[in-house]
Structure 1
Amino acid sequence: MSLRFSLMGPVRAWRDEEEIELGPRQQRSVLAALLLNNGVRLSNDQLIGMVWDDPTPSAVMALRTYVYKIRKALPELDLKSKDGGYTVRAEIVDDCGGEPLEGLRSAYFDAQRVRLGDHRLKAREDCLEREFDVLELQAHVAAFPLRERPRALLMRALYLEGRQGEALDHFHRARALLRAELGLEPGPELRRVHAQILSGDLTPPHRPEQLPPDLIDFTGRTEEIAQALRTLPGTVGITGMRGSGKTVLATRIGHLVRGRFPDGQIFVRGRDVAGELLRAIGVENPVGDKATLWREKARGKRFLVVVDDVRDAASVRDLATPGSAMILTSVRRLHELPGVSWVQIAGLTEREAREFFRRTIGTVRADAEPEQVEVLLEHLSRLPAPIRVAGGKLGSRPDWTIEMFLLQMRREGKSADALPSDCAAMLAPMIAADQDLTDPERHLLRCFARRDTEVIDSHEAARMSGSDPGEIEGVLESLAGVHLIEPLVLGRYRVPQFVRVFFGLRTPVPVS
């Protein structure tokens, strides 16, 4: 779950998208003082001085009571007492609310309201820039007539509504006001928008919406989603073998949190990640240090970035920016990337796989042959991508039983020389994985498939493959790194059935 807070307006908190009740005013005051000093340890005396202007001896007990209630309401905040004080680390968002720290009363909070005033205005103007609502902008300009940024936004909004004359008239009125009140000419932002209107170069703000569609039949992954939501807006990495549904899971998470990233969602696949990010926000033909340019462009923004099928750490290093979030998918876990919370996925659970398969072919057909369904799902190691293909094939053969489908799979799987398209589609994850293997890795998997043993140890692997015992551990760990085998304990590995099925189609290898 994801916990976030706002201090702009009343002190508020949300768990995912559900708002949390924070209790009476003084309890919210204690929480607000901790949040205003995010990551800093505050002693009991410091907290009492912030919350109460004229504290009585009972303030110490009141503070302890409020801290206890905050812990109970927000257990994931991990509010701990250390060295006679308290520290919180939390995500604080700007939600374009009203007066900062609304309803909280003390000299400390009054001073903080002044400090947060400009920040509140900037947050409000950030929201207005995203929404581009003429009426809202006119109201904001009327409330703060000497601020130039909202005037520039209003000129843009008027022009983009086809009200060019009003936009130009607004510039001249703003210029007259600034001269009269401050003795100044309009600043660079107002002058730039004025020039763009005159030249016809003003374009709507670019807001990328690139997330692939969410799948209506998405099934399972509850724990993995919860772990990712706890991490965001930090960087989440999703790793697993091909066909396990990494991209689909990243997309599902993206749709769940897209409302928290109002500047847009960007989906990238390829090696030039920084270049694609820049192009997504309207920077054509970026040159030079693209990572630095991306960080400059993303500063102060809240983007959700999904980078699919990352092949090397260098392509995504140094691209994370404060306020934005990244979700990475990669076959290999990229240990060299700092600050990434990795989620590893494999096949679905037995229950999830059955439910997913029932959705693809219908409950009546699936429930009519429960034993055959289990055989099929085990044959595919409960991987979502092959299950979807199998369900699609059965959907196109309404008169077939699942037993018939299994029989056809056995016939088609006797040779790898000319796989039918349906069988090749089911095996596509393994075909792609095979292309990235070294000869020793491929040879070892063929040996495993010929033996058709689920669990193997390193000594047996060296014997059956004829490899040097000193080198076999490196080959095994490399295969585990791409999830084609699963490490159990030191020196022992499990070979998924789907892997054994595919490499059993390859040319037989003599046993040593």
Structure 2
Amino acid sequence: MSLRFSLMGPVRAWRGDEEVDAGPRQRRAVLAALLLNNGVRLSNDQLVGMVWDDPRPSAVTALRTYVYKIRKTFPELDLRSKDGGYTLRAELVDDCRGEPLEGLPGRYFEAQRVRLAELRLHSREEWLERELDVLELQKHVASHPLRERPRALLMHALYRDGRQAEALDHFHQARALLNEELGLDPGPELREVHARILKGDLHLPRRPEQLPPDVADFTGRADEIARALQVLPGTVGITGMHGSGKTALATRIGHLARHRFPDGQIFVRGHDVAGELLRAVGVENPAGDKAAQWREKARGRRFLVVVDDLQTAADVEDLHVPGSAMIVTSVRRWNALPGVTWLKVAGLAAAEARALFDQVAGGARSSAEPELTTKVLARVSHLPNPVRVLAGKLSARPHWTVAMLLRQMERETVLGDAIPSDCRAVLAPMIKADDRLTEAERHLVDCFARRGDEVIDVCEAAEMTGGEIGTIEMLLESLADVHLIEPLELGRYRIPHFVQMFYGLRTLAPTS
């Protein structure tokens, strides 16, 4: 069960759906200080200074006691001690209960209370900007009458709904209030909205919402998701073989992070990435230096861009804009791209693959034949796309058993191109990968499959193929770059079960 915490109100914790007592005030203060610095190492002195305004000599001993009790209460918490300090990584949520860090006194927590309240306010206004709900905007403006941004959004929303007079009246109210309370006139945004309403040419900025739907049965990848959410708004690269679920992972991350990018989400699949980005924000028929145009359009705004199945590094290398984020998926890892945090995905963990299979096929089927289910999942190297197809096939055949599914998989290794279409769907990732290989690469991986060994080295590969060691090493590295073999150490590689099965099928296929 997942463990999560909230600081937006009293310090609270949940394990799954059940709330966990975070302890007395001073222990909650230590926990809060660690959570406020999620992922950052804090020394004993730093933590003591955060929790106690005027610490006594016994504070370090008390701190260690509180950390011990936090570990005991939350044994699954990633709380590490090193060199006289502590680092914590945890999931934080906003349960919107009240004043942040409620009940925690001290200068440090007071400053953090102000910061968190401001973050919450900005988050609320980003949501209001996305939704432009008149009633919610009216409530927000009533609670924060001196904030100009939400009042400008309210004028937008009223004008959009044909309520021009009310929109103009809000400008006059703001001008009177700002002058009375602060001795100021409305700022440039309010004045511009007012002027455009008078001219009748107020248009809402184009906000792309292009993320594909999230995958309902998405399973696993918790570490990769956590890492990506830490990196954004930097650039995240997701690499792995075909069928490893790169696109589904990018989409899941996008949906989890979309609230941080109020100007929209753009999904691109193709070579003309800069052109597609410009078209997404309303530029018709972009030409010239499209990368420069995109940087100009995106400057000062926050977009989330997902580039799926990147083919060359040149397609994205000049598109970074501060404040915006990019998630790139690619079979190959493009090491020449600067500033990218790469995540490599392969098959799911065995338990996660079983959970996905059960979710699609129904848990009773695999529970009745657990060993055979394990064998089915291993044959496709726990890759999520083939697992989902196989489970879907079993779900569509209520009278089949897992043993029947496995027998069909084994029989199809000698059928060649005659295999049924749903079984071709299982093999689709490998078919796509094979289409992109050179003849020399294909011959080498065929030799791997014929040999049947899980691990092979450069010298053995050269002996099998009759090629020179230098040439063979380059071919092996090329195959490793597209994840058809896995490098173990210099000169040694492992072939995944799914790859071996596919090329074994090719070897055994009948010839005309």
**Contact map agreement 1:378 1:497 (CA 8 A) in 2:** no
Query: Are 2:233 and 1:232 equivalent residues in the alignment?
Result: no
Whether contact under 8 Å (1:48, 1:60) holds in the other structure is yes
Deviation string, structure 1 residues 345-366 (Cα, Å, up to 9, x no partner): 1377499469739955997799
2:500 to 483, 488, 497: 497
Given that 2:48 and 2:59 are in contact with CA atoms closer than 8 Å, whether structure 1 keeps it comes out as yes
Is residue 345 from structure 1 mapped to residue 342 from structure 2 by the alignment? no
Task: Give the letter for the 1:206 counterpart.
Answer: R
Distance 1:97 1:103, change over 3 A: same
CA distances 1:443-464 after superposition (whole Å, capped 9, x unpaired): 2233344555554432232123
The within-5 A match list for 1:29-48 is 29-33=29-33, 47-48=47-48
Deviations 1:63-103 (A, max 9, x none): 333343445556655453646x6666788787777444433
Are the equivalent residues in 1 in contact too, given 2:300–2:323 (CA < 8 A)?
no
Q: 1:309 to 1:108 in 2, by over 3 A?
A: closer
**What is the CA distance between 1:209 and its match in structure 2?**
5.4
Aligned-partner residue type, residue 341 of structure 2 = V
For the 8 Å contact 1:128–1:137, the answer to whether it is kept is yes
Match of 2:158 in 1: 158
How far apart are the structure 2 equivalents of 1:357 and 1:46?
47
Q: Structure 1 residues 396, 59: CA separation in 2 closer, same or farther (over 3 Å shift)?
A: closer
Q: How far apart in 2 are the matches of 1:26 and 1:290?
A: 53
In the superposition, relative to structure 1, how do residues 109 and 448 fare at CA in structure 2: closer, same or farther (>3 Å)? closer
Unaligned runs of 5+ in 2: none
* Separation in structure 2 between the aligned mates of residue 375 and residue 50 of structure 1, nearest angstrom: 53
- For the 8 Å contact 2:455–2:492, the answer to whether it is kept is yes
The Cα of 1:258 is off from its aligned counterpart by 5.8
1:427 deviates by 4.1
Cα pair distance change 1:180/1:474, threshold 3 Å: same
Secondary structure of the residue aligned to 2:244 is coil
Letter in 2 for 1:344: V
Partner of 1:147: 147
1:475 CA displacement: 1.0
User: Would the aligned equivalents of 1:238 and 1:344 in 2 still touch at CA under 8 Å?
Assistant: yes
Amino acid at match of 2:503: R
- Which residue is 2:132 aligned to? 132
Give the RMSD, CA atoms, in angstroms.
4.9
2:268 partner letter? V
Amino acid at match of 1:232: L
CA separation in 1, counterparts of 2:95 and 2:457?
Answer: 55
Q: 1:92 to 1:335 in 2, by over 3 A?
A: farther
Note if contact 2:301-2:323 (Cα within 8 Å) is conserved in structure 1.
Answer: no
SS at match of 1:129: helix
Deviates more, 1:145-154 or 1:269-278: 269-278
Count of residues paired in the alignment: 495
Q: Could you say which residue in structure 1 is the equivalent of 2:215?
A: 214
1:466 partnered with 2:466 = yes
- Pick closer, same or farther for the CA change 1:9–1:315 going to 2, 3 Å: farther
Q: What residue number does 1:483 align with?
A: 483
Structure 2 length-normalised TM? 0.74
Question: Normalised by the size of structure 1, how large is the TM-score?
Answer: 0.74
Q: Name the amino acid aligned to 2:245.
A: G
Q: Contact 1:277 / 1:294 at 8 angstroms: preserved in 2? A: no
Q: CA deviation at 1:470?
A: 2.6
Which one-letter code corresponds to 1:240 in the other structure? G
C-alpha displacement of 1:437: 1.7
Give how far 1:29 is off.
Answer: 3.2
Note the C-alpha offset of 1:467: 0.8
Greater Cα shift, 442-451 or 461-470: 442-451
Q: How does 1:242-391 map to 2 (within 5 A)?
A: 242-251=242-251, 257=256, 261=260, 263=262, 266-273=266-273, 276-277=276-277, 279-280=279-280, 287-289=290-292, 292-293=295-296, 296-299=299-302, 303=304, 305-316=305-316, 327-336=327-336, 338=339, 340-346=341-347, 349=350, 352=353, 356=357, 359=360, 383-386=383-386
3-state DSSP class of the match of 1:483?
A: coil
Cα shift at 1:281: 5.8
Tell me, yes or no, if the aligned pair for 2:80 and 2:87 is still in contact at 8 Å: yes
Q: What residue identity is the alignment partner of 2:134?
A: V
**Amino acid across the alignment from 2:240:** G
* Greater Cα offset, 437-446 or 312-321: 312-321
Given that 1:441 and 1:475 are in contact with CA atoms closer than 8 Å, whether structure 2 keeps it comes out as yes
Equivalent residues of 2:299, 2:321 under 8 A apart: no
Helix, strand or coil: the match of 1:232? helix
Is the 2:242–2:331 contact (alpha carbons within 8 Å) kept by the matching residues of 1? Answer: yes
SS at match of 1:145: coil
Q: Distance in 1 between matches of 2:411 and 2:46?
A: 74
Amino acid aligned to 2:186: P
Q: Note the alpha carbon deviations across 1:310-351, whole angstroms, 9 max, x for none.
A: 334454557678887655432223445545252331377499
Letter in 1 for 2:292: D
- 2:465 partner amino acid: S
Change over 3 Å in CA distance of 1:370–1:293 after alignment to 2: same
CA deviation after TM superposition for structure 1 residue 468, in Å: 0.9
Cα distance in 2 between the residues matched to 1:361 and 1:105: 51
- Give me the whole-angstrom Cα distance separating, in 1, the residues matched to 2:370 and 2:65: 59
Structure 2: how far apart are the matches of 1:361 and 1:90?
Answer: 32
Deviation at 1:170, TM superposition (A): 1.3
The alpha carbon displacement at 1:189 in A equals: 0.8
The answer to whether the 8 A contact 2:238-2:250 is kept is: yes
Relative to structure 1, the CA distance from residue 252 to residue 332 in structure 2 (aligned partners, 3 Å threshold; closer, same or farther) is same
